[in-house]
Amino acid sequence: MTIALDNLKNCADTTTLRSRLSSLCSRFGSIARLDILTSRQAGKRQALCFLRMGSAEQEQEVINELGVGRFGGDIVMVIDLQNPALLSH
């Protein structure tokens, strides 16, 4: 995981994550689609982010710069989310 993606770790919610991820990826071009699904496993919250850019060239730049991969036709990233129990302390 790159430093840029590492900075997305521990977002408190998907709204914040969507905003930060959109800001990060918009430097590569237009974002055609960004879907975020959440998962909880063994007490850990994660976001599965599926991204499509405006062109194949832009998508390749995202993959190269951020060190992420594809799942099907989408760029996919798994981001750890902050545990809500930690927010109340």
Q: What is the pLDDT of residues 16-75, one digit of tens each?
A: 999 999 999 999 999 999 999 999 888 888 999 999 999 999 999 999 999 999 999 999
Whole-model pTM: value is 0.83
Query: What are 51's strand-pairing partners?
Result: 34, 75
CA distance 81 to 58: 26
Domains of the chain and any CATH numbers:
3-84 (3.30.70)
